Amino acid sequence: MCGIFGFSGFEDPDLLPKMGRALIHRGPDGEGYYEDEAHRFFMGMRRLSIIDLAGGAQPIFNEDRSVAVCFNGEIYNYVELREDLTAKGHRFQTRSDTEVIVHAYEEWGRDCVRHFNGMFAFAVHEARTGETFFARDRCGQKPFYYHQSAGRFIFASEVKALLQCGHVPRACHVPAIDAYLALRYVPEPRTMFEGIFTLPAAHTMTLSRQGEITIERYWDISLTEGPPASGAGFLDETEAMLRQAVKLTMRSDVPVGGYLSAGVDSSLLVAMMTEFSSQVNTYSIGFNSPGDETRDAAETARLLGTNHHEIQCTPGDFDDLRKVIWHMDRPVGDALIMAFFKLAEGAARDLKVVISGEGADEIFGGYSFHKVTLLAERYQQLMPGFLHDHLAMPALRAMPVEFLTKFFVFPAKLGQEGKARLVDFMGNYRDRNIFENYIALKTLWPRESRAAAYTPAFKAMATAAWIPSVRDTGGNFLDRLLKIQWDEWLQDWCIIRQDKNTMAHSLEVRLPFLDHHLIAQAFRVPPHLKNNGFRDKIIERQIAARLLPPEVTHRKKNPFFLPMEFFFEHPQIKTLIAETLNEDRIRQRGYFEPAYIKALLEKMETREFVTLKQVMSLVILELWHQVFID
C-alpha cells in the first residue's frame, strides 16, 4: 500500500518531494523517485511496506530498466502470476507484488490489468517511447486523481498532493455542489475541485509523449438475460469463491486483522479468516447509543475466538472533523466519516492490514433501498393506476408519521421530511426511470428542496449536468438496480470512506467481497437467492449458516449510521454548527438563502433523521471549503 504521484510536460525539481510529503501518511516506511528527463516525465511514491518488507522499494524496473512502475495497492494473485511470468522467461529481482506489474506489462501490454486480481492504481512508464500507462482497479478501491492543462499533466493518489503544484487551481467546481447535495458525493470522473478528475474505476489511461491522454474501460459487469436459473450449485460455488477471496486477501508479510460489526458480512469474513490464522484481531465501533451494536459484535467475537477490541466514537471526537475532511480530499456528506476515522485509528495501533465487508450489500442486495425498490416495482406492476391514484396514495399521505417510523430501518425518527420522500417516491415512481427512482429514494435533498435552499445567483449555476447516464443493458430488475451502484455509489460513497480514513493512519483495508470473480458469480446468482423484497443477502446468509450460529446469521441488519439525534445537542457539535452555518458564513459563500438555513437549523429540535443529516451535509461542505479552498 502506497501513495503515488508524478507529473509530465514541465520541470520542477522541488515538486516531487513536496507531493511525497503531502502523502506521507499513505506510506511512512519509505520513498522513491523516478526521472525521465528526456521525455520530461517524473514520478514518485511513498511506501507502506506489507509484501517483501526488505526488497519491495519502488520504483521497480524490468530487466534492462527501460520500464518503471510506481504502484498503490495489492495484487493478491501475484504468486501465481510470478510463476507464470517466470515460466515465460521473465527474471525477478524481488519477492514483491509490484514487480509482477512491470513484467506483466512487458508480456501482455495494456491487457495486463485483465490478469490482476486486486486493488490498484499504478503508473508504468516506458523510457524508450516516453509513453505512460495508468490503471485503476475494477471497483475503484484505490484512488487516482489527475489534472491536465496547457501541456502539463499531474497525477496523485490524493488531491492534496496535486495542490502542491502551482499549476493546479485551488478552486471549487461550483456546479458540483448540486450533485453533492443530491447524492452526498460528486460522481466520478468529476470532483468538487475545478479541473481535477478521477480516473474512473475499471479504466486505463495512456499518456502519449506528446501529452495526449486516452481513457478506456477494460472491465464491466455482465447481466444475465433470460429466465432465472436454478439455484442448484450456486451455494457451493459462491462459498468456494468467497473463501478463496479471503485467503488471497490474507496474503501478507505482516499480521492481518478484521473489522467486526454485528452484521453477517463481517462475521462471515472473520469466521473464514480464523480458518487461515490461529489468532485474529477484530475491531468494532460504537456510539453509546440505543442502536449501538458493539454488544452483539463482542458476542460474535467470543463465539469466533478472536482478540476483540471495542472503540467508541463520541461527540468530543468532532474536534477532529476538519482533520478527517482534509484526509478525505473530496467531501462525503455524512458525519459517519468520523466513525470510520476513529475505527481505523484504533486498529492502526496494532496492525498495518485489516479486512472489511464492503461490497457484500452491493452484490447480494443488502441495503434497505433494495428491498423498498423491489417491492415498489412489484406494486406498480400489480396495482391498477386508478386504485393507486385514488386509494393507495391518499391513504399513504394520511398515514401518521409515527406509524411509518415503525417500518423505518434506522432507529431514529422518520419525521415529516422522511415521509415526504416516501410519498414522492411512490407517487412519481411510474414517471421515472430506474436511476431516477434510485436517487429519489436515497437523496437527502430532492430537487425541490435544493431549489428552495439556493440563492438566485447560485441556482443559475447549479445544473443537473452531473446526472450520470444510465447504462441499462437489460437483465432482471434487481441486477439492473445493483449494477447502477458500480459507476458511482461504490467508489464515491462506500470505498472512499474506507480508503482515505484507513490510510490517514497508515492502515491498509482489504475487501474480499470485491474480488472480481466473486462479483461475476454474484451477478449469475438468481435474484431470488439475493433479495426477494423481504429478506436480503439470502445466499450469503445460507453460506454463513454453515459457519456461524443462528443468532448471528438471523440477526436483523442494523444500519451503520451515526446517531446525530443523540449527538447534536452536545456543546462541541453545537459550536461546530454555529461556526459553519451562521448567517455571515452563508452570505459569504453565496450558495444558500440564509433564511432557509436558519429555518433548517431550528428544525433540528424535532430530531428528525433527514433534517439532522441535511444539516451535517452542509457543515461538511463548509468545512471542506475552509480546509481546501480558503
CATH number at residue 328: 3.40.50.620
Banded model confidence at residue 403, pLDDT cuts 50, 70, 90: confident
Per the DSSP assignment, residues forming a β-bridge with 308 are: 282
Specify the CATH number for the domain of residue 176: 3.60.20.10
Assess whether 213 and 240 both reside in one domain: no
- 246 pLDDT more than 80: yes
- 47 pLDDT more than 80: yes
- Each residue of 506-534: pLDDT tens digit? 999 999 999 999 999 999 999 999 999 88
Among 389-403, 414-428, 458-472, 572-586, the range scoring the smallest mean pLDDT is 458-472
329 part of a folded domain? yes
Distances (CA, A) of 103 to 61, 91, 219, 613: 9, 8, 21, 48
44 part of a folded domain? yes
C-alpha cell at 301: 467475537
Q: What percent of the chain stands above pLDDT 70? A: 96
572 part of a folded domain? no
Contact between residue 116 and residue 110 where contact means Cβ atoms under 8 Å apart: no
Q: Which residue has the higher pLDDT, 630 or 468?
A: 630
Q: Within 10 A of 428 (CB to CB), how many other CB atoms are there?
A: 12
Contact between residue 257 and residue 282 where contact means Cβ atoms under 8 Å apart: yes
Q: Is 72 helix (H, G, I), strand (E, B) or coil?
A: strand
For residue 348, the one-letter residue type is A
436 part of a folded domain? no
Q: What is the mean pLDDT of the chain?
A: 92
Question: Which of these, 353, 185, 16, lies nearest to 3 by C-alpha position?
Answer: 16
- Tell me the average pLDDT across 549-574: 81
Banded model confidence at residue 320, pLDDT cuts 50, 70, 90: very high
- 416 pLDDT more than 80: yes
pLDDT for the residue numbered 2: 86
pLDDT for the residue numbered 603: 92
- φ/ψ of 310, rounded to 5, equals -115, 130
- Tell me the average pLDDT across 357-371: 93
pLDDT for the residue numbered 48: 86
Assess whether 191 and 241 both reside in one domain: no
Is 2 considered catalytic here?
A: yes
- 473 pLDDT more than 70: no
- 629 pLDDT more than 90: yes
Q: What percent of the chain stands above pLDDT 90? A: 76
Question: Which of these, 464, 436, 489, lies nearest to 176 by C-alpha position?
Answer: 464
Contact between residue 7 and residue 146 where contact means Cβ atoms under 8 Å apart: no
| DSSP 8-class letter at 192 | S
- Tell me the average pLDDT across 613-621: 96
575 part of a folded domain? no
- Each residue of 4-24: pLDDT tens digit? 999 999 999 999 999 999 999
- 468 pLDDT more than 70: no
Domain holding 31, by residue range, is 2-217
395 part of a folded domain? no
Of these ranges, 98-112, 385-399, 548-562, the one predicted with the greatest mean pLDDT is 98-112
Domain ends where: 553, 577, 600? 553
pLDDT for the residue numbered 52: 74
Q: How many angstroms separate the CA atoms of 329 and 321, rounded?
A: 13
Assess whether 59 and 86 both reside in one domain: yes
407 part of a folded domain? no
Among candidate residues 2, 70, 165, 313, the one labeled active-site is: 2
Assess whether 20 and 106 both reside in one domain: yes
> Cis bond leading into 59, ω under 30°?
yes
What is the three-state SS of 524-578?
HCCHHHCCCCCCCCHHHHHHHHCCCCHHHHCCCCCCCCCCHHHHCCCHHHHHHHH
Assess whether 62 and 184 both reside in one domain: yes
Domain ends where: 553, 575, 609? 553
Distances (CA, A) of 426 to 476, 500, 536: 21, 36, 21
- Tell me the average pLDDT across 36-46: 96
Assess whether 92 and 207 both reside in one domain: yes
Cβ contacts of 392 within 8 Å, gap of 6 or more = 383, 426
- Tell me the average pLDDT across 447-472: 79
Assess whether 124 and 244 both reside in one domain: no
C-alpha cell at 302: 467470543
Q: Which residue has the higher pLDDT, 410 or 545?
A: 545
Please give the angle made by the CA atoms of 585, 590 and 595, to the nearest 5 degrees: 70
Distances (CA, A) of 280 to 48, 155, 274, 460, 508: 21, 37, 7, 54, 16
Look at the chain and report how many structural domains it folds into: 2
This prediction has a pTM of 0.94
- 550 pLDDT more than 90: no
Assess whether 151 and 263 both reside in one domain: no
> Cis bond leading into 468, ω under 30°?
no
Assess whether 121 and 266 both reside in one domain: no
- Residue 609: Cβ-neighbour burial (10 angstroms; 0-12, 13-18, 19+): buried
- Each residue of 140-189: pLDDT tens digit? 999 999 999 999 999 999 999 999 999 999 999 999 999 999 999 999 99
399 part of a folded domain? no
Contact between residue 298 and residue 284 where contact means Cβ atoms under 8 Å apart: yes
pLDDT for the residue numbered 50: 86
- Each residue of 193-206: pLDDT tens digit? 999 999 999 999 99
- 228 pLDDT more than 80: no
Cβ contacts of 318 within 8 Å, gap of 6 or more = 335, 338, 567, 570, 572, 573, 576
Question: Which of these, 283, 420, 297, lies nearest to 339 by C-alpha position?
Answer: 283
Banded model confidence at residue 414, pLDDT cuts 50, 70, 90: confident
pLDDT for the residue numbered 229: 55
φ/ψ bin of 460: left (φ > 0), alpha (ψ from -120 to 50), beta (otherwise): alpha
pLDDT for the residue numbered 407: 75
Assess whether 293 and 212 both reside in one domain: no
Banded model confidence at residue 429, pLDDT cuts 50, 70, 90: very high
Assess whether 240 and 175 both reside in one domain: no
Dihedral sign from CA coordinates of 463, 615, 444, 415: negative
- 556 pLDDT more than 90: no
C-alpha cell at 175: 456546479
pLDDT for the residue numbered 27: 93
Domain ends where: 498, 527, 553? 553
- φ/ψ of 284, rounded to 5, equals -130, 155
Q: How many angstroms separate the CA atoms of 26 and 5, rounded?
A: 12
Assess whether 249 and 159 both reside in one domain: no
- Tell me the average pLDDT across 437-449: 90
Q: How many angstroms separate the CA atoms of 213 and 154, rounded?
A: 12
pLDDT for the residue numbered 554: 78
